[in-house]
Structure 1
Amino acid sequence: MSTTSPDTTNGKVALVTGAGTGIGRAVALELLARGYQVVLAGRRGELLEETRARAGAASGRALAVATDVTREDSIDALFERLRATYGRLDVLFNNAGRGAPAVPIDELPVAVWREVVEVNLTGMFLCAQSAIRLMKRQNPKGGRIINNGSIAAYTPRPLSIAYTATKHAVTGLTKAISLDCRKDNIACGQIDIGNAATDMTERMANGVLQADGSTKAEPRMDVAHVARAVANMAELPLDTNVQFMTIMATTMPYVGRG
């Protein structure tokens, strides 16, 4: 953990989407503990305020902005508020995402497919696009974007086509941003997370469907480890980048383990 005093700023500004719960909340609190000024974005303002309250003495460096990442006007309003308050952006943790019911492909409603794509892919693109516009024009120029991928960016779980397809697409988004924005001193990397202990993964402790048709409980890891990993990526100088990082519960069923 950082030894930064809660009331001390490091001069850097971070934006965390999906900051009201889970991984987003943990990362926001870790960045605040390390001295960042942090903009908390998410759909539910009351959850953002809860995150802000949990920061304790560092809460004065947190700005909560209720945001729907699927709406361009909402993203525009978020970045206008960010610019008016801080004038620049050093780090975007592009984290907001959602899953879908575990059903066979032929039973997944197209409306649900579109909702997952809108949040997990289009929303991530819109946030990255606005961040890039600001980072290219600010002085000093540049910044860092960290996209939240998933183990699903590499291999699917059973009955997860919408989530898996969007997380594979996030990898393409990360690579394209990393390539196209080099000239503007913008670094882009991706963290792929397996079984962080959040509300989203509680069901895994009770047992989830495996590829062989069995149902098994899966190990989870403390979300604080993910938060520290993201913060460590964020704190690298811009001439250094973690392109992809995988962090996972050691004995979860992946790459032959478990």
Structure 2
Amino acid sequence: MSETSSNGRGKIALVTGGGTGVGRAISRALGSAGYAVVVSGRRVDVLERAAAELAEETGAEFLAVSADVGDPASVCALFDVISDKYGRLDLLVNNAGINVPSVPMEELSFEHWNAILGANLTGAFLCTQQAFRLMKSQSPRGGRIINNGSVSATTPRPNTAPYTATKHAITGLTKSTALDGREFDIACGQIDIGNASTDMTRAISTNILQANGSYAAEPTIDASHVADAVVYMAHLPLSANVLTMTVMATKMPLVGRG
């Protein structure tokens, strides 16, 4: 393995949900910054196509590994691949997540509730757990974990109880990870994203339910701005940490009454 450095050269990153949307933008930015990037997700074809395209765009090394982050055995297998191929992990970006269509709380199925908790919260925990095991044992020791919290970690949209609950919980996981990682040179921070433009958030830019019951189009930002922020967080020495950062569309109706 090559020597690690502050600018990412020789470092290994894992981005969950890395084949599409914000995850793909983060993967591209990390590759451009010198990381070898493992992109993970559930759809093999999407991952392999993304890895090939990103490698061509950036000249960096991308490895596609299919995994279901909500399944412990699948997460263990993912980290076995990373350990066997690279022998270490310098950066974990817990980005994978899902949502369901906006419906009143009493109409939400238990299956949907469980699916969102599994992908958004349990998945982040399982990946963090495996990252701790590897980062504690590798040499040089330590690494960084960045969690995708979303602005829903502080402020919900109407009819999004399960998604909002998981994102509030991610804040607790971030703080616990930052605390428990201190002794082992493992830093953990959270990026809360507001209205990054992806397929998952396309409705936001056209017509979405507001807190007062009306519908309105909201401003969005390019996902590359989020990716740039992640690279900044990742490039800090392990003696420094961004615990929380919010990157949002300036004019989105997050701050204020409504």
Q: Report the TM-score range of the alignment, normalised by the length of the smaller protein.
A: over 0.9
Structure 1 residue 35 corresponds to structure 2 residue 34: yes
Counterpart in the other structure of 1:171: 171
For 2:77 and 2:171, locate their aligned partners in 1 and report how far apart those are by CA, in whole Å: 27
Structure 2 matches for 1:124-143, cutoff 5 A? 124-143=124-143
Counterpart in the other structure of 1:17: 16
Answer yes or no: is the 8 Å Cα contact 1:196–1:220 preserved in 2: yes
Q: Deviations over 1:176-225 (max 9, x none)?
A: 00011100000000000000000011011211000001000000001000
CA drift at 1:20: 1.2
Counterpart in the other structure of 1:212: 212
Answer yes or no: is the 8 Å Cα contact 2:15–2:93 preserved in 1: yes
Q: 1:190 to 1:9 in 2, by over 3 A?
A: closer
Counterpart in the other structure of 1:234: 234
Answer yes or no: is the 8 Å Cα contact 1:13–1:37 preserved in 2: yes
Q: 1:199 to 1:57 in 2, by over 3 A?
A: closer
Structure 2 matches for 1:171-190, cutoff 5 A? 171-190=171-190
Q: Deviations over 1:15-34 (max 9, x none)?
A: 00001110100000110011
Answer yes or no: is the 8 Å Cα contact 2:207–2:218 preserved in 1: yes
Counterpart in the other structure of 2:63: 63
For 1:63 and 1:153, locate their aligned partners in 2 and report how far apart those are by CA, in whole Å: 30
CA drift at 1:53: 2.2
Q: Deviations over 1:75-111 (max 9, x none)?
A: 1111111011111000000100001121111110011
Counterpart in the other structure of 1:3: none
Q: Deviations over 1:28-81 (max 9, x none)?
A: 011001110111110011111222122216456111101110111111111111
For 1:101 and 1:130, locate their aligned partners in 2 and report how far apart those are by CA, in whole Å: 31
Counterpart in the other structure of 1:197: 197
Amino acid at match of 2:185: N
Amino acid at match of 1:90: D
Q: Deviations over 1:156-185 (max 9, x none)?
A: 000000000000000000000001110000
Aligned pair count reads 251
For 1:134 and 1:60, locate their aligned partners in 2 and report how far apart those are by CA, in whole Å: 23
TM (norm. structure 2) is 0.94
For 1:35 and 1:50, locate their aligned partners in 2 and report how far apart those are by CA, in whole Å: 20
TM (norm. structure 1) is 0.94
Counterpart in the other structure of 2:25: 26
| Off by >3 Å, runs of 4+ in structure 1 | 57-60
Partner of 1:238, secondary structure, is coil
Answer yes or no: is the 8 Å Cα contact 1:29–1:51 preserved in 2: no
For 2:222 and 2:251, locate their aligned partners in 1 and report how far apart those are by CA, in whole Å: 13
Partner of 2:213, secondary structure, is coil
CA drift at 1:9: 7.3
Answer yes or no: is the 8 Å Cα contact 1:53–1:59 preserved in 2: no
Counterpart in the other structure of 1:5: none
Amino acid at match of 2:76: D
Q: Deviations over 1:109-151 (max 9, x none)?
A: 0110011001100011000000011000000100000000011
* Percent of aligned positions that are identical: 56
Let me know the Cα RMSD of the aligned residues.
Answer: 1.5
Partner of 1:204, secondary structure, is helix
Counterpart in the other structure of 1:92: 92
For 2:60 and 2:83, locate their aligned partners in 1 and report how far apart those are by CA, in whole Å: 17
Amino acid at match of 1:42: G
For 1:108 and 1:160, locate their aligned partners in 2 and report how far apart those are by CA, in whole Å: 10
For 1:216 and 1:57, locate their aligned partners in 2 and report how far apart those are by CA, in whole Å: 36
Counterpart in the other structure of 2:3: none
CA drift at 1:253: 0.5
For 1:257 and 1:211, locate their aligned partners in 2 and report how far apart those are by CA, in whole Å: 9
